[in-house]
Amino acid sequence: MRRHAIAVLPGDGVGPEVTRAALTVLDAAESRFDFTTGRTEVPLGADHYLERGELLTEGTVEQLRAHDAILFGAIGSPRVTPGVLERGIILALRRAMEQAINLRPVRLYPGVPTPIAGLTPERCDLVVVRENTEGAYVAQGSSVHVGTPAQVAVQESVNTWYAVERAVDFAYRLAAVRRGRLTLCHKTNVLVEAGKLWTAVMESVGERFPDVETDYVHVDAMCMHLPVSPERFDVVVTDNLFGDIVTDLGAVLQGGLGVAASGNLNIAGNGTSMFEPIHGSAPDIAGRGWANPAGACLSLAMMLGHLGEGEAAAGVEAATTAVLAGLPALAGEGMGASTQELGERIAGLLADGSAPPVEGSLMSQLTQVMAR
Ligand code: IPM
Ligand code: MN
């Protein structure tokens, strides 16, 4: 029987709740599709940090490296200075594992309510390929005269041909198996130096993809186009920080942060990929069962696709979106069921195979792109 070694990082806040729900769905996927997983729980997060003063250590990186994938909940807590856990764990992991791409689908599934008036599923099916290791996220910078009116802060953004090229190349390949359209999103009219590099990489890689049509949109204009005419976009490739911001807006189109999924992909095969809902730890609602597990379950689907369990990936996606479509509200008390109850509902639909398959699933496109 096929067996996959999974590291599970539930983390903080609602992270453990949505992860537990996703693991219930994984149990159902294993029984239905004949594979097993070995699961190692890794206790990274606020508690571990406050008890031991430990963030991501080299030992943990080596431990994670021995796994086929990482299922991630959320990291971040009001008990720890903002940035310590985020940088010391999430960003450190993305870099240590060379998770070059942060893949963030923006898809409105049928029947899911969106706050954007008049938006329909046919018009909202794009994927953001976010460069995941550098830009403003290199955490370089310095301050002088701190605490005085003369305080100066310098915060750099680093862009290397190497990292931009691997993101852009992946984006072209994905566009080639989708609708053949790739948009570069940047701010080349102000960030001129970085903009020149990104534009040159787009042109250079583009020579190998004559059938992919390209265009360019400034990131501010993207925030206007995305809610109004998402149908304009197929694959969007962008810098780390722009990708972070634009995908929160993308999540809103899909029904909210609780629905949006992501894959931090190592595409070179020299590190472990990590799958996480994009909603974060939401400490304000933690412990109440109010978090929507859909983002975690759709991230699980991406993980299964990555592990070569294509049928299971499609099954989890179908069951999750079927459950989503029937919810009275997409988060909070109004959801009408707890996080874990929803996980069980999704697992139930998966077990009996009654959810209609999702057409044009990103999961099968990914399989084609990864198996180049
Ligand atoms: C995300 C998050 C992270 C990011 C934070 C928690 C460091 O917002 O995954 O989008 O900025 O990348
Ligand atoms: Mn974010």
H helices present in the chain, as ranges: 15-33, 46-52, 58-65, 84-85, 92-96, 161-177, 192-206, 219-228, 240-253, 294-306, 310-325, 339-352, 362-370
Mean pLDDT within 101-117 = 96
Residue 278 near ligand 1, beta carbon < 6 Å: yes
CATH dotted code for 114-254 = 3.40.718.10
Q: How far apart are CA 150 and CA 167, in angstroms?
A: 39
Residue 47 near ligand 1, beta carbon < 6 Å: no
pLDDT in tens, 59-89: 999 999 999 999 999 999 999 999 999 999 9
Which positions ≥6 away from 333 have C-beta within 8 Å?
A: 288, 290
Over 80: is that where the pLDDT of 370 sits?
A: no
Distance in Å, CA 255 to ligand 2 centroid:
16
Nearest C-alpha to atom 10 of ligand 1 is from which residue?
244
pTM over 0.75? The answer is yes
Over 60: is that where the pLDDT of 332 sits?
A: yes
Least confident segment among 74-88, 290-304, 309-323, 356-370: 356-370
Structure confidence at residue 371 as a pLDDT band (50, 70, 90): low
Nearest C-alpha to atom 5 of ligand 1 is from which residue?
86
Nearest C-alpha to atom 6 of ligand 1 is from which residue?
86
125 tagged catalytic = no
The secondary structure of the chain in percent helix, strand, coil, rounded to multiples of 5, reads: 45, 20, 35
Domain spans, the chain: 1-103+262-371, 114-254
Ligand number nearest CA of 72 is 1
Structure confidence at residue 369 as a pLDDT band (50, 70, 90): confident
Over 60: is that where the pLDDT of 180 sits?
A: yes
User: Of the residues 125, 187, 234, 239, which is catalytic?
Assistant: 187
71 in Cβ contact with 303 (< 8 Å): yes
Distance in Å, CA 95 to ligand 1 centroid:
13
For the chain, how many residues are written?
A: 372
Same fold, 1-103+262-371 and 114-254: yes
Q: How far apart are CA 223 and CA 187, in angstroms?
A: 12
Q: How many angstroms separate the first and last alpha carbons of the chain?
A: 25
Domain range 1-103+262-371, CATH class? alpha beta
What's residue 372's pLDDT?
54
